[in-house]
Amino acid sequence: MSKLYDYLLLLGDSSMILGHRLSELCGHGPNLETDIALTNISLDLFGQVRNYFQYAAEMKGEEATEDSIAFLRLPHEYRNVLLAEQPNTDFAYIIARQFLFDAYHLPLMEALIESKDEQVAAIAHKSIKEVRYHLRFSSEWVKRLGDGTEVSHQKMQEAIDYLWPYTKELFEETPLEAAMKTEGIGADLNALKVKYDAHVQGVLAEATINIPETPFAHSGGKNGIHTEHLGFLLADLQYMQRAYPNMAW
């Protein structure tokens, strides 16, 4: 398969895995409004994934469909960032994960609207409006919890501390991403990092949250090396297609 095909999977996988994590919260949000918000964000992410995977399936040809790409791969064939697969714990943690991802996702889409590949640019144009809204939502909640009560502050700080080591990977350029950047199709991760840092630092300062100083970082997701959480997630995500191959609604 072409590099572009692999790149589409890399882009789509992070949205799909995070979208699935958020879908697990359907009916479990802390209140009705946040429950609906998180599942709405999930729906947007899945919509974006469909765009990537439909394009990828067209490129692959044969019998490939968006569903076969989404459901019928093994864990090491998924290229999502590790941040996306981290499990749901408390609300502060869910918001922190969303905030860190959105802060990376928005400049990524801003870069991809300039992509030389027309369809990638079109998908980014479509997604960017939604991602901007997601970032607004998650940023507001980081501030509300961080600068809220003593308990909410502590929980937000713990969540940021825990997830911080997963953020470095977002900007670690893989050979695939380097090649796509050179071809003018993919994004320049260094340029994204500047925008990401500015936004994240601004929001965390307003939220009275300290930026962790740990030099330690996890990585591997973009190369198919995942945390133990992905296997369990996929067992759930893939269940229907594995149990009833080719089933359709």
Partner 1 sequence: MTVVVNEVIELIREVSDPEIPVLSIMDLGVVRDVEVKQKDVLVKITPTYSGCPAMDMISTEIKYKLDQAGYNTTVKLILAPAWTTDWITENGRKKLEAYGIAAPLEASADKMALMGESRMVKCTNCGSTNTVLVSQFGSTACKALFKCKDCLEPFDYFKCLK
Which stretches of the chain bind partner 1, using CB under 8 A?
33, 36-37, 40-41, 43-48, 50-51, 118-119, 121-123, 125-127, 129-130, 133, 136-137
CB closer to partner 1, 72 vs 122: 122
CB of 22 to partner 1, least distance (A): 11
CB of 28 to partner 1, least distance (A): 16
CB closer to partner 1, 108 vs 123: 123
CB closer to partner 1, 7 vs 55: 55
CB closer to partner 1, 36 vs 151: 36
* Residue 110 to residue 125: CA distance in whole angstroms: 8
Distances (CA, A) of 81 to 124, 205, 248: 18, 25, 29
CB of 122 to partner 1, least distance (A): 4
CB of 74 to partner 1, least distance (A): 26
CB closer to partner 1, 43 vs 179: 43
CB of 133 to partner 1, least distance (A): 7
Distances (CA, A) of 151 to 40, 203, 210, 218: 27, 19, 15, 28
3-state secondary structure 139-165: HHHHHHHHCCCHHHHHHHHHHHHHHHH
